[in-house]
Amino acid sequence: MTPNEERRPAGNRTPNKNHKDETSVPDAADPVTRCSCCAHPLTAAASVARGFGPVCAARQSAAQLRARRESVSARLDALAARVGLLGADALAVVASGLDDVLDELGGAR
In a domain, 109, yes or no: no
Give residue 71's domain range: 3-83
In a domain, 10, yes or no: yes
Region of residue 8 (left: phi > 0; alpha: psi -120 to 50; beta: else): beta
In a domain, 60, yes or no: yes
Into how many domains does the chain fold? Answer: 1
In a domain, 61, yes or no: yes
Q: How far apart are CA 82 and CA 9, in angstroms?
A: 41
In a domain, 108, yes or no: no
- Give the pLDDT score at 2: 52
- Give the pLDDT score at 32: 85
- Give the pLDDT score at 109: 56
Per-residue pLDDT of the chain (109 residues; tens, 9 = 90+): 455 545 555 554 555 555 555 444 445 455 789 999 999 999 999 999 999 999 999 999 999 999 999 999 999 999 999 999 999 999 999 999 999 999 998 865 5
Closest alpha carbon to 16 in 56, 68, 61, 46: 56
What does the CA dihedral 72, 74, 79, 80 come to, rounded to 10 degrees?
A: 110
In a domain, 100, yes or no: no
C-beta atoms surrounding 94 within 10 Å: 14
In a domain, 98, yes or no: no
In a domain, 63, yes or no: yes
